[in-house]
Amino acid sequence: MEQVMTNTMGFPILSSLIFLPVIGAVVLLLLNRTNENLIKWVALLFSVGTFLVSLPLFSTFDKTTHAMQFVERHAWIPSWNINYYLGLDGISILFVLLSTLVAILCVLISWNSVKMKVKEFFISILIVESAMIGVFCSLDFFLFYIFWEAMLIPMYLLIGVWGGPNRVYAAVKFFLYTLVGSVLMLVGIITLYLYAGRTFDILALSKLILPYDMQFWLFWAFFAAFAVKVPMFPVHTWLPDAHTEAPTAGSVILAAILIKMGAYGFLRFSLPMLPEASRAMTPVMIGLSVIAIIYGGVICLAQTDLKRLIAYSSVSHMGFVTLGIFALNVQGMEGGILQMLNHGIVTGGLFLGVGAIYDRTHTRQIADYGGVASVMPVYASIFIVFTLASIGLPATNGFVGEFLILLGGFKASQWAGVLSATGIIIGAGYMLWLYQRVFFMETNQKVAGLSDIGARELAALLPMVVLIFWIGVYPTAFLGFMHESVRHLLERVSDGGVHGVSVAHNVLEILK
């Protein structure tokens, strides 16, 4: 089967998605910084525009093939065989859509909460958006690396400039942590480039048969970059600090998109390029995932800071994602990919929600809240939806993802399945306790008289609510994208030792 399909859209849609936010940023640059309203509206216009341009991806994607679609390819630095090479398959497409949506919500939720350097703030958001989309679209390893690193800079600024009191420490920690991992990945990329005969073509590299020793070392080099981003236990400690100190939009981008890139890296690079090593390392990866699920969950039980609690819950939830991916079966992997999306929606939503109330109270301490449901009933109903999705209640997206992951995990290793399933008990414990302390009981003096959320905040929160139920009730609309790509990837992982085509394929050929 063809590996790539020509772009049938009639225009370079992926490039448009990558460059529209950049153009927006340039326009913002030219605007007078005192006209904050205009700046906000322009930022909103460009993020909404990018989202609208991305919608045809959802409707025209061909779900019957694993081939790359909407492909664009241009020589970039021919002497090094570097190409500007873009395309999407069933694994990456949903994250592009999520990125374009999240950018809008970030603009909306930051509308009134950012008071200084407004212009630079929205420029950063748009640049981040562009880099996020680039990461998921790249089919050239070099190009991917550029986007991957490019994302760090505006993210570093978002945390370091507009963050909380301890923002500089958190930003530097975030930067160094991810940079160390990325440098090791770069070594890996160059090794692959030289070994494969000077190519950065991801699809070509995904067909290579590498010696096991090489796979082994490359696996850990990639692991350094991806595990930090996920973040997997024990390299998770940057996340609570970054999340806690980041402004709301920064937390949302971190939770919804940035930490998905680690898991995406495993799917796009580690598994198809290093299939034998991935198989061999499965016990380690599953073990670390299970630890993350339980460790991240139990730690939440003792948190006193709203954002820190949700940050640690991300460690637990991302443990589910890596468990699903390294279960190396259909249910686990599809569940894992869906859960990446789900976590983006739910945790993104939780941070949006926390941001909305933080704007009113300027405190993150859970003890400063209580009885919010009495003063902000609409907000409380939306937040309970996020809470329930986070603990995987059926009919929300969290259930579909967690169920498939646990089923796949149980299939791969019963112990992993059983231990991870305790995560659903712990999850209910900390999330409901959080909800109780913030929304129930007697109204705390500090929240008395707060106004309920307004139309702008509602517009930022409702898309997530809709997605939660949409995926929960009719997941086929989303799982359908990935069936073929996941099947193809799993074939590659299981037959990775055989040259070119799968054993099953050969057998079929002979039978014919």
Partner 1 sequence: MENYLLIPFLPFAAFLINILFGRAVLKEKAHWVSILAVAGSWVVAVMTLRDVLAGKTLNENVYTWILAGDFKVSVGFLIDQLTAIMLIVVTTCSTLIHIYSVGYMHGDNGYYRFFSYLSLFTFCMLMLVMANNFLQLYFGWEGVGLCSYFLIGYYFDKKSASDAGKKAFIVNRFGDFGFGLGIFVIFLNFGTTYYAPVFAQAGSLAAKSYNFLGFDVHLMTLISLLLFCGSIGKSAQMPLHVWLPDAMEGPTPVSALIHAATMVTAGVFLVARCNPIFSQSETALVVVALTGAITSLFAATIALVQNDLKRIIAYSTVSQLGYMFLACGVGAYTAGVFHLYTHAFFKALLFLCAGSVMHAMGGELDIQKMGGLRKYMPVTYVTMLIASLSIAGFPGLAGFFSKDEILWMAYSGSSPVGKIVWASGTLVAFLTAFYSFRLIFLTFHGKFRGTHEQEHHLHESPKAMTIPLMLLCVGAVAAGWVGIPALIGENIGIHNGIAEFMKPVLGHAEGHGTHGEELIVMAVSVVVGFAGIGLAWFMYMLRPDIPGKLTAQFSGVHKVLYNKYYVDELYSAVIIRPTIWTAKNILIGVTDAKVIEAIVNGVPAAIGGVSRQLRKIQTGLMHHYATIMAMGIFIIAALMLMRSW
Residues that bind partner 1 (CB under 8 A): 173, 176-177, 234-238, 295, 298-302, 329-331, 334-335, 371, 373-374, 377, 381, 388, 393-395, 399-400, 403-404, 406-407, 410-411, 414-415, 417-418, 421-422, 424-425, 428-429, 432-433, 436, 439-443, 473-476, 479, 483
Question: What pairing do the DSSP bridges indicate for beta strands 68-77 and 82-88?
Answer: antiparallel
Output the smallest distance, CB 336 to partner 1, in A: 11
Output the smallest distance, CB 165 to partner 1, in A: 18
CA 217 to chain centre: 26
Do 468 and 389 touch, CB atoms closer than 8 A?
A: yes
What are the tokens at 32? 């007078």
Closest to partner 1 by CB, 76 vs 469, is: 469
Output the smallest distance, CB 284 to partner 1, in A: 17
Closest to partner 1 by CB, 208 vs 340, is: 340
Closest to partner 1 by CB, 250 vs 335, is: 335
Helix (H) / strand (E) element for 4: namely strand 4-6
In the chain, the largest separation of any two C-alpha atoms, in whole Å, equals 77
Which residues have a Cβ under 8 Å from the Cβ of 371 and sit 6 or more positions away?
439, 440, 441, 442, 443, 444, 447
Closest to partner 1 by CB, 39 vs 490, is: 490
Q: How far apart are the first and last CA of the chain?
A: 17
Closest to partner 1 by CB, 357 vs 431, is: 431
Output the smallest distance, CB 278 to partner 1, in A: 19
Closest to partner 1 by CB, 287 vs 429, is: 429
What are the tokens at 34? 């005192």
Give the CA distances from residue 23 to residues 12, 132, 507, in Å, rounded to whole numbers and listed in that order: 16, 15, 52
Output the smallest distance, CB 154 to partner 1, in A: 23
Output the smallest distance, CB 490 to partner 1, in A: 9
Separation CA 326–CA 287 (nearest Å): 10
Give 145-148's long-range contacts (Cβ < 8 A, gap of 24+): 145/182, 145/185, 145/186, 145/189, 148/182, 148/261
Give the CA distances from residue 418 to residues 250, 333, 501, in Å, rounded to whole numbers and listed in that order: 35, 18, 36
Closest to partner 1 by CB, 40 vs 243, is: 243
DSSP β-bridge partners for residue 74: 84
| Residue 85, number of CB atoms within 10 A of its CB | 25
Output the smallest distance, CB 50 to partner 1, in A: 31
Output the smallest distance, CB 254 to partner 1, in A: 18
